[in-house]
Amino acid sequence: MSKVNKKTGRNSKIPKVPFWKTKKILIAFIPVVVFFVIYFLYIKKSSNEPEWVKEGEVTFVSKDSRQKLAKIDVEVAINPAERQQGLMYRSKMDEDKGMIFIFERDDMQSFWMKNTIIPLDIMFIDSKGVINTIHKNTVPYSEKPLPSKSRSQFVVEVNGGYSDRHGIKEGDLIEYKLDHR
C-alpha cells in the first residue's frame, strides 16, 4: 500500500519532476515544432508545385506591321489532362514564359482561374493564328467563366498585364513552334 502525502494529496511513490527539468524539455522541444511547421507550410508545399518545362515557343506578331511584338517559351497542353491542369498551383512564372493550349479544331472555348494562384492574360486564338479575345489580369482562384468571343483552336496564357506591356491586342497574330512533341 502506498502512502499519500498529507500536504499534496499525492501518492508518495510517484516521483515529482522538478520544474527546471520540465522547462528544459519544453525549451528543447519548441525549435523542433517550429521546424516542422515551417517545413510543412512552406518547404514541402512549394515542392508540390508543378515544375515548368519548356516545350515550345510562341511569337506575337502585329497585325498591322507584321513586326514581332514579343516571344515566350511555353509549356504545351495538348491532351485533356494537360489542358485541365494548365497553370494551376503555380506560385510564380517568369515574364518570358507561358502556356499554349492546343485543341483539335476551332470551337468556342471557355477557361476559368480555379486553383490558379497568379493573375494571367488569357488569349484565345483561331486556327489561322489570329487573337480574337484577350482576358487581361484575370482574378486568381475565380470560377467565373472566361469565354472566347469566337471559335478558337489555341489559347495562350501569360502573366497578367503581359499583353499591355508588350502591345499585344485582339487582331494580332501568333506563330508557334513545338520542341520534339
pLDDT by residue, tens only, the chain of 181 residues: 455 555 555 555 656 666 556 666 667 777 777 777 776 666 555 557 888 899 999 999 999 999 999 999 999 999 999 999 999 999 999 999 999 999 999 999 999 999 999 999 999 999 999 999 999 999 999 999 999 999 999 999 999 999 999 999 999 999 999 997 5
Decide the pairing of beta strands 68-77 and 97-107: parallel
State the Cα–Cα distance between residues 102 and 169, nearest whole angstrom.
Answer: 20
Q: What is the pTM of this model?
A: 0.74
Q: What angle do CA 133, 134, 139 make, to 5 degrees?
A: 130
